[in-house]
Amino acid sequence: MKILERYIIRRAFMVFAMTLAAMTGVVWATQALRQLDLVTSKGQTLIQFISITMLAMPFLVVIVAPFALMIALVLVLNALSGDSELIVINATGGSRFLVLKPVLIFAVTVMVLCGTLSLYVAPLGLSQLREEITRVRADLVANIVQPGRFISVEDGLTFHIRNRSGNGTLEGLLLHDIREPDSAFTYQAETGHIVEMQNRTLLVMQNGTIQRKPQADGDISIVRFQSYAFDLSSLIPQASTPVYKASERSTADLMSPSPDDAYATQHPDKLLQELHERFSQPLYPVAFSLIVFAFLGRVRTTRQNRNMAVLGAIVGCVTLRTAGFGVTAIAGEGVLTTALLYFVPLLGIVLSMWTILKDERLTPPKWAGNRLEAIGEWIERVTDRINGRTNGVS
């Protein structure tokens, strides 16, 4: 690999990595808030919450990576033009394809990354996320250890705790049981632990009392204890088998679902759409790289032209991906709409490549160019004022 190619790829990779980390982090935070009830109402710790929601990270990377690549190439190519490096390459007789080659190498690398995540890693992470959420929602322990709340596990049985310490100790425990028709029991304890022993789930309480009150008229009897075990085994619900959506299934499962799979039988169109979407998504990094190069890969000399080229590259990429999202929303209703999943990114690739080969200069609409030119002039005036320059003289 030539020095120029390594130089462009290295700069693009650094910007891409930083942009991908920032954008993915923001998107992950917004998605993680949707599962905040894992902490607030299911009793999970913050570490468990982060580890569970991080399972969706590969899926988010597939969505964000093309935009991170777009930003990286826009900054790198614009910097090459602003620093006159493209002019030097052109003046020495170098073809613009000397710059296009490392851009395509970088884009293909990102495409392979997106393809691996889309076809294998992301579905695995989403399926594990579904399993964890199903497990948490069926976890009796997580549902009863909610400090300050009275939790009715089943009719006639109510739990309350004052606090839950970091090591799992339940403090200020109250258990009210009126399931028996002739008596009501109230258990109070200073502390308690939930333990698994011989395939049974026990609530072991320390330093407390048991109050027994007959439903009919009668005296209340109180028994003090140092340690008492309350059997919770009959209250533990069987965790239901999670129903995996199309995006949570492996690629092999999408290709040949089990004939006994009720979801696959009811929604074959969703499985087909998801399969084609996984194969089409990796095409967007290549399409974005060619669009950006079509606008910024040519030598430009003025600030206004560069600004308009940057605007055109961003608008072109965003428009293409928006069209892709729109097609995804309607895909699966027929062969034509499914084919559009591939047609949209391939159209961007073909048009951009044709423009590059024809050596056409792409510019945004005139009205957008005028607006951007006015903004550029205003930025120049502000910059001159900050630098203490007047009429271009220091």
Provide, rounded to the nearest whole percent, the portion of the chain with pLDDT above 70: 75
**DSSP states of 140-204 as a string?**
HHHHH--TT--EEEETTEEEE-SEE-TTS-EEEEEEEE--SSSEEEEEEEEEEEEEEETTEEEEE
**pLDDT at position 288:** 95
Task: Say yes or no to pLDDT of 264 above 50.
Answer: yes
**pLDDT at position 233:** 72
Please report, for the chain, how many H helices and E strands are present, in that order.
Answer: 15, 7
**pLDDT at position 392:** 46
pLDDT higher at 145 or 66: 66
pLDDT higher at 295 or 45: 295
Mean pLDDT of the chain: 79
Query: What torsion, rounded to 10 degrees, do the Cα atoms 72, 77, 81, 83 define?
Result: 50
pLDDT higher at 282 or 169: 282
pLDDT higher at 272 or 87: 272
CB count within 10 Å of CB 197 equals 10
Helix 283-296 with 335-358: angle, nearest 10 deg: 30
Residue among 355, 364, 389, 391 at smallest CA distance from 304: 364
- Work out the pLDDT band at 373, boundaries 50, 70, 90: low
Select, from the ranges 77-91, 105-119, 208-222, the one with the highest average predicted confidence (pLDDT).
105-119
**pLDDT at position 38:** 57
**pLDDT tens-place string over residues 199-232:** 777 888 999 999 988 877 777 888 899 999 888 7
DSSP E strands, 215-292: 221-231
What whole-number distance in Å separates Cα of residue 321 and Cα of residue 281?
10
pLDDT higher at 41 or 342: 342
CB 338 within 8 A of CB 273: yes
For 308, the 3-state DSSP assignment is helix
What whole-number distance in Å separates Cα of residue 394 and Cα of residue 387?
8
Task: Say yes or no to pLDDT of 114 above 90.
Answer: yes
For 84, the 3-state DSSP assignment is coil
CB 152 within 8 A of CB 130: no
CB 225 within 8 A of CB 208: yes
**pLDDT at position 391:** 44
The Cα angle at residue 156 between residues 151 and 159, in degrees rounded to 5: 30
Task: Say yes or no to pLDDT of 368 above 60.
Answer: no
Q: Phi first, then psi: what are they for 177, rounded to 5°?
A: -125, 115
Task: Say yes or no to pLDDT of 393 above 50.
Answer: no
Q: Which residue is it, tokens 């709409």? A: 337
pLDDT higher at 334 or 338: 338
Task: Say yes or no to pLDDT of 40 above 60.
Answer: no
What whole-number distance in Å separates Cα of residue 278 and Cα of residue 283?
10
What whole-number distance in Å separates Cα of residue 61 and Cα of residue 24?
6
**pLDDT at position 1:** 53
**pLDDT at position 361:** 53
Residue 368 token pair: 């957008």
Provide, rounded to the nearest whole percent, the portion of the chain with pLDDT above 90: 21
Least confident segment among 25-34, 187-196, 296-305: 296-305
**pLDDT tens-place string over residues 307-323:** 788 888 899 999 999 99
CB 235 within 8 A of CB 154: yes
Least confident segment among 4-8, 123-127, 172-176, 236-240: 236-240
Task: Say yes or no to pLDDT of 364 above 60.
Answer: no
Query: What torsion, rounded to 10 degrees, do the Cα atoms 71, 77, 83, 86 define?
Result: 180
**pLDDT at position 331:** 67
Residue 187 token pair: 């258990």
**pLDDT tens-place string over residues 233-262:** 776 655 456 778 888 888 888 888 888 878
**pLDDT at position 338:** 80
Least confident segment among 266-275, 286-295, 359-368, 373-382: 359-368
Q: Phi first, then psi: what are they for 138, rounded to 5°?
A: -100, 5
Amino acid at 107: A
What whole-number distance in Å separates Cα of residue 300 and Cα of residue 39?
54
What whole-number distance in Å separates Cα of residue 239 and Cα of residue 322?
39
Q: How far is CA 74 from CA 179, 195, 310, 319, 365, in A?
A: 68, 57, 7, 16, 19
Least confident segment among 76-85, 218-227, 376-385: 376-385
Identify the H or E element spanning 254: helix 251-255
**pLDDT at position 203:** 83
Q: Which residue is it, tokens 């073809």? A: 95
CB 141 within 8 A of CB 194: yes
Least confident segment among 27-36, 58-67, 285-294: 27-36
- Average pLDDT, integer, range 375-382: 61
Q: Which residue is it, tokens 């009429």? A: 391
**Spacing of C-alpha 387 from chain mean position:** 43
Q: How far is CA 25 from CA 20, 57, 58, 60, 349, in A?
A: 8, 9, 12, 9, 29
